[in-house]
Structure 1
Amino acid sequence: MRLGLIAMSGVRAQNQGLMQLGLTLPGFVERSKVIASLPSLALLTLAGLTPSDINVRYLEVADLAGLDELPGDFDAVAISSYSAQIKDAYKLADRYRREGTKVILGGLHVTACPQEAALHADAIALGEAEPVWPQVIEDLKNAGLKPVYDARSGSFDLQHAPMPAFELLDIDRYNRLTVQTQRGCPLSCDFCASSIRISPKFKTKPVEKVIAEIRRIKTIWPKPFIEFADDNTFANKAHAKRLAKALAGENIRWFTETDVSVADDPDLLAMLRDAGCSQLLIGLEATDKTVLDGIEQKANWKAKRADTYLEAVHRIQEHGITVNGCFVLGLDGQTEESFDDVTRFVRESGLYDVQVTVQTPFPGTPLYDRLKSEGRLIRANAWETCTLFDVNVRPDHMTVDELEDRFQNLVATLYTDDFTQWRRGAFRRQIRMANKPA
């Protein structure tokens, strides 16, 4: 049997003004290029679970435009996509089905919108894929594929995580590879559309499994750059220290996402630095605690931490670890002045990197449900706007035009060569001051 694992990988903003501006501001498109260049860890994991008697091929499709022929002749395909490109994924799935190829769809979007996805697939996988994939393969072999494979009632134990099939990759195409160290998140932010929507239970992967995956990568890329594909890598501080201790012996550079509490533990920061941590991406979201009020739905954690943001950035960067601070514009309670607040915070903190996005209602999130019930979505089911840069929400304290215009002006301010160089210089000055003899 010939099985194709196809990742739709070409997310692009619909806002043409922003896209044109981005062409002249390399800093703005730098992170988006990184994301687009990441292989699908989910599909590589399924490949690792697939028996050796199946002929497996991994492919990436960036754009359907000009795709005259189907990318590969398969008996079955499993297609993975971001919400922003799901409609293209459906078109590709429909084309395969017309040729007689069986199509399996799964992932975050499919789990959030199963009835929609089922119209374009022979089978859909809901929730975590690992528990159901062996049965999918068995049913494919026996020509008995079922319409739905639902893993949402259980929780997959990462102790049994398979080795992803990194060997399927053309390694020269990538500037980093991903490894997962945990799944879910102990926080519950209303906008979050990451693995918490597939695995509500926060869980960590055994450190020895993480290291084994890194060593497997090193067999095809001796000195890799690793991105940990986690929602919140260091939420569990005990696991974080075990992981950092193990990483210190691997001689790699790596990047990950976590929350601001990582700054509370100087010992952990020193361990991360010594373990090769290059950068931490931290979702700050906003500088105003009144805006943050209620975004984290369990304990209002984000609002409670807002006053610590400046000190936290300084403390992390003084340890030689750069911070990529992420902000969301268009949140409820924000005004046109909020854009200036972001610029001011970046200057005061000396953030090495900054990422700005607009409030995005992803399917399956409490944010989407709330905004839909309030009648504030500009277009329902406009998944192509789920790019983080396109506005599909009516803000409560400004117009859509004001949000788009001010966002574009903010981008033009933050990502000029001069400001980017200033941020790099500010980080170096922090390091010099931190190492200055008392």
Structure 2
Amino acid sequence: MKTLLLYPKFPQSFWSYDRFMEIAGLKAVLPPLGLITVASLLPKTWEIRFCDRNVAPETDADWAWCDLVILSAMLVQQQDFQDLIQKAVKLGKKVAVGGPYPTAVPEEAINSGAHYLILDEGELTIPMFLEAIAQGQTTGLFRSSEKPDVTLSPTPRFDLLQQDAYLMMAVQFSRGCPFNCEFCDIIALYGRKPRTKEPEQILTELQTLYDLGWRGSIFMVDDNFIGNQRNVKRLLRALSPWLADHNYPFTFLTEASVNLAEDDELLSLMVESGFYAVFLGIETPDQESLHVTGKVQNTRRPLVEACRKINDAGLLIYAGFILGFDGERAGAGARIQEFVSETSIPQPMLGILQAPPLTALWHRLKREERLITGERIHPTGDQNTLMNFIPTRPIAEIAQEYVEGFWTMYEPQDYLKRCFQQCMGIGLPLKPRQTMKFPLAKGFHLVLQVMWYQGICRSEIRGQFWRQLWVIFWQKPQVLNMYLGLCAAGEHFWEYRVLARERIMEQLGYDPMNVLA
């Protein structure tokens, strides 16, 4: 079987870092870990070609060569995903699809013409698909209510990647989350019992990346890395000596719940094992909204105190915030801004609440007949999309708070100030090796570009940039590349905040040009 694995394009979004990628000479932030894991599950006798369309498009020769096209996608990739299905069908190719998007909304893949739907987790459903192919079946839908044992998951096909096109590599240790946040689709997709790989598996994957020549940062893509704290500590205790034996080729960042601040040992182990940053789902400083949405783990201790504890341990904080919870009081956006200012979180991801399919929130709103359907619905999956349900306060009020909040938090002077304060406030371990890494040649080019744009071209921050850089250089040089990386990311956010405002205005029915004028 001649198989073409395609990963659809992402639209410009908060996490796409478009301008950053451009000045860094990179194409994409992360590789598609799910799709290269699928490649490892396919028969060794199959011929495989792989293409991440965020890096480079496939060719006409690829289309002519293949018998089967396999696609994986998240919800935000829906447009290119559907277009690729339709193109493949038009060319007479068989199409198999999987990933979070078709798993949550299979009817959209079917309507686009997909022949095989390999849903849920591939370790269980890909064998079903392969058996159907062997029996000559031309269509099929393959699902499993069981969760696979991830200790049996194969090492992803990292060799298929064009490594120098990515900012980071990706590795997964666990699936699932023990918490019960109403709006989160992770527990719907992967369950509430975190399943972890064995430490030896992760070390094998890291050794594979090492042998392929990767040196730099790795995103541990778990949705809650610390969901199983016992097993994550086992991993970290094995990871630290491996890194030392290999002269610290990698640094790590991941996602975790705020209760990370409650475990001193875990914090210490993460820093000792090369973790330099963590993304926290803070959502809101409003305690009432946290209780409404079931995010009780964020109510156990003051959130500002938790953030400072994590910073003091040596970790940079990225964080997500949401507007639009039921019963939310007016001014929620301003309260988020105050929280971000107090904690100096450099890159707060502010979004408007969505009810993803299959979540507890989606089911509740469906019972309450508050879901928006048909032509009135806005596409979901990006942070600057109006909610797909009727909120409890005026939607225009929520939208205004989103636009004002995002615009203000990414005002260049405020952004650079937070970057500086966060870096200066991070505690340093005895061996300060944990910080974001770039390949040397591209890192040097990126530094020159940042100095040109922010140290020369942008008059409003020119003096601030040089003053802060000088202090970092003399007082805390260990975080210099972290600081410059955050500065470079500002180039993306200063463009993206304009796009975010335009998108919201269009969804509200305003002419963005008139509003901006």
SS of corresponding position for 1:86: helix
Alpha-carbon contact 1:5-1:78 (below 8 Å) kept:
yes
Structure 1 or 2: more helix by fraction: 2
* Structural RMSD (CA): 3.2
How far does residue 87 in structure 1 lie from its aligned partner after superposition? 4.1
2:180 is matched with which residue?
188
Partner of residue 281, structure 2: 283
Partner of 2:88: 96
CA spacing shift, 1:48–1:425, aligned 2, 3 Å: same
The residue aligned with 1:136 is 129
Task: Give the conservation status (yes or no) of the 8 Å contact 1:361–1:386.
Answer: no
Question: In the TM superposition, what whole-angstrom CA distance separates every residue of 1:108-162 from its partner, at most 9, and x where no partner exists?
Answer: 222222334333211112211111213423433553244111122x220011011
What residue in structure 2 maps to residue 398 of structure 1?
393
The answer on whether the counterparts of 1:4 and 1:78 sit within 8 Å (CA) in structure 2 is yes
Task: Pick closer, same or farther for the CA change 1:70–1:123 going to 2, 3 Å.
Answer: farther
Q: Does 1:257 align with 2:255?
A: yes
2:334 to 314, 327, 340: 340
1: CA distance, partners of 2:207 / 2:232:
19
Give CA-to-partner distance per residue, 1:14-40, whole Å, 9 cap, x none: xxxx99xx99xx79x99xx99953221
Match of 2:403 among 387, 405, 408: 408
Q: Identify the residue that residue 115 of structure 2 maps to in structure 1.
A: 122
SS at match of 2:292: coil
- Which runs of 5 or more residues in structure 2 are unaligned? 431-474, 476-517
Q: Residues 136 and 145 of structure 1 are in contact (CA less than 8 Å); yes or no, is this contact kept in structure 2?
A: no
Residue number among 323, 326, 334 corresponding to 2:320 in the alignment: 326
Corresponding position of 1:7 = 7
Q: Is 1:308 the counterpart of 2:302 in the alignment?
A: yes
- 2:41/2:126 contact within 8 Å kept: yes
Give me the whole-angstrom Cα distance separating, in 2, the residues matched to 1:34 and 1:193.
Answer: 30
Partner residue, 2:226? 234
**Residue in structure 1 matched with residue 271 of structure 2 by the alignment:** 273
Q: What is the aligned partner in structure 2 of residue 221 from structure 1?
A: 213
User: 1:289 offset after TM fit, Å?
Assistant: 0.9
What is the aligned partner in structure 1 of residue 168 from structure 2? 176
Q: 378, 387, 401: which is aligned to 2:382? A: 387
For residues 407 and 136 of structure 2, what CA distance do their matches in structure 1 show? 55
Give the Å deviation of 1:301. 2.1
Q: In the aligned structure 2, how far is the partner of 1:71 from the partner of 1:400?
A: 46
- Distance between the aligned counterparts of 1:268 and 1:256, measured in 2? 14
1:151-196 Cα shifts (integer Å, max 9, x gaps)? 22x2200110111001011111101111110001111212112364
Q: Which structure is larger by alpha-carbon Rg, 1 or 2? A: 2
Name the aligned partner's letter for residue 284 of structure 2. A
Contact kept? 2:129, 2:140, Cα under 8 Å:
no
Pair 1:351-2:349 in alignment: no
Distance 1:314 1:102 in 2: 53
Contact 1:87 1:384 in 2 (8 A): no
Q: Tell me, what secondary structure is at the counterpart of 2:379? A: helix
Instruction: Verify the 8 A CA contact 1:191 1:362 in the aligned structure 2.
Output: yes
Distance 1:77 1:7 in 2: 10
Partner SS for 2:322: strand
Distance 1:346 1:34, change over 3 A: farther
Any conservation in 2 of the 1:290–1:303 contact (CA below 8 Å)? no
Superposition deviation, residue 315 in structure 1:
0.6
Distance 2:27 2:363 in 1: 27
Segment drifting more, 163-172 vs 73-82: 73-82
Q: Structure 1: 5+ residue runs without aligned partners? A: none
In the TM superposition, what is the alpha-carbon distance from 1:316 to its structure 2 partner? 0.6
The AA in structure 1 aligned to 2:254 is T
Change (3 A) 1:432 1:320: closer
Report the number of matched residues: 419
Change in 2 beyond 3 A, CA 1:181/1:380: farther
| Equivalent residue, structure 1, for 2:415 | 420
- Measured against aligned partners, the alpha-carbon deviations of 1:278-327 in whole angstroms (never above 9, x if no partner) come to 1110101110111111322xxx524633x421111001101121111211
Give distance in 1, aligned partners of 2:382 and 2:318: 19
Query: Structure 1 residues 147, 225: CA separation in 2 closer, same or farther (over 3 Å shift)?
Result: same
CA–CA distance in 2 between the matches of 1:140 and 1:110? Answer: 20
Structure-1-length-normalised TM-score: 0.86
1:409 is displaced (CA, Å) by: 1.3
Greater mean deviation of Cα atoms: 316-325 or 200-209:
200-209
Deviations 1:47-98 (A, max 9, x none): 011222111111123599x999696331011111121332432232122122
The 1:175–1:36 alpha-carbon spacing in structure 2 relative to 1, beyond 3 Å, is closer
Name which of 354, 357, 361 aligns with 1:360: 354
Task: Give the equivalent residue in structure 1 for 2:512.
Answer: none
> Residue 313 of structure 2 contacts residue 427 of structure 2 at CA under 8 Å; is this kept in 1?
no
Deviation, 1:242, is 1.5
- Asked if 1 retains the 8 angstrom alpha-carbon contact of 2:51 and 2:58, the reply is no
